Amino acid sequence: MQFRLNFLVTCLCVVTSNEYMLYYICAMHSYWFVSVYVFMGTLKSWNNDSKKMFLKLCIYFIVNCVLFDMPGVASVIFKPFNFILGYTDPRFDSMHEWVFRAGLDHWACFFGMLCAYNYPHFENFMKNLEKCENASKRWVTKILMVITCITALVTWYKCVMEKDKYAYNTLHPYTSIIPILCFIILRNLFPIWRTHYIGMFAWLGKITLETYLSQLHIYLQSNAKHLIGYIPKYHLLNFAMATIIYLPISYVLFNLTTEFSSYLLPHDMKKVSRNALYVLLAFFVPYVGFCIGLYLL
């Protein structure tokens, strides 16, 4: 997973001399993946006990709260990783970008774990609801759930979404779960809704990392400050032209990452050693041959 998240962005940083934090999504995903991995791996025998799991979740909650909800703590804790998480901006401290970006979504991962852990209960609830022989009770329950979700969405939109950028940013970490949770409930409420999906979105979902990275070099330039003009003065045509370039390149980059991953990190450790040796030879043998040629000349 770490290879999947960081292979392409590493190549981009080397080729363009950009800083890693320009592509902050990769840093965020890498950190949150490691945090969940450590969380689930530590005392993993507790994961099957609801009471012990509740204790683990409380500990994760407290640690996350201290890190991102107490001013200045994150900057100090992550300072040793400044060489990779730092971002050069004369207006701010080098760790500002990481603390800001990670802080915006610092509860998303925790809420995601809660949803995943309680998914079996939600699934059983929906199955029992569908099996309910009392049709009126079943429909009243579903209608109440729809009304609750719509009320929550409208309230969220009016009280949070309509605020200006800076006011919204302060509320986002604690309220972003509302539209996501409402979508999950509504999406699964009726059989016809949960048995159909839009194939294009499913396909795009597989290459979201590549679409995020390539947009900064196909749609945008100057570190995402300006649009690239392929067809000047024709904005919609310009957007269409960029998209025609953008999607195929993103898909090719996704396949390249998958191929490199399967080659460099196969399940067989003997193949890993063999492939690593081949990669080293590919880098160093031509260099050695070139040096010998220079010496002979």
Backbone angles phi, psi at 231, to 5 degrees: -125, 90
- Per residue in 268-296, pLDDT (tens digit) is 777 777 777 776 776 666 655 555 454 54
The share of the chain scoring above pLDDT 70, in percent, equals: 94
Question: Taking residues 242-269, what's their average pLDDT?
Answer: 88
Q: Which domain holds residue 63?
A: 1-106
Examine the pLDDT at 17 and tell me if it is beyond 60.
Answer: yes
Strand partners, 220: 227
- Per residue in 163-179, pLDDT (tens digit) is 999 999 999 999 999 99
Give residue 266's pLDDT band: very low, low, confident or very high (50, 70, 90): confident
Same domain for 156 and 182, yes or no, is: yes
- Residue 225 belongs to a domain: no
* Domain boundary, last residue among 196, 229, 253: 196
CA-CA distances (angstroms) from residue 216 to 23, 47, 226, 227? 9, 40, 10, 9
* Domain boundary, last residue among 176, 196, 216: 196
Same domain for 82 and 143, yes or no, is: no
Same domain for 99 and 136, yes or no, is: no
- Residue 297 belongs to a domain: no
* Domain boundary, last residue among 196, 224, 241: 196
Amino acid at site 146: V
Residue 56 contacts residue 48 (beta carbons within 8 Å): no
State how many domains the chain has.
2
**Residue 283 to residue 265: CA distance in whole angstroms:** 18
Same domain for 88 and 130, yes or no, is: no
- Per residue in 183-212, pLDDT (tens digit) is 999 999 988 888 888 899 999 999 999 999
**Residue 141 to residue 219: CA distance in whole angstroms:** 46
Residue 226: both structure tokens together: 């300006």
- Residue 241 belongs to a domain: no
pLDDT of residue 296: 44
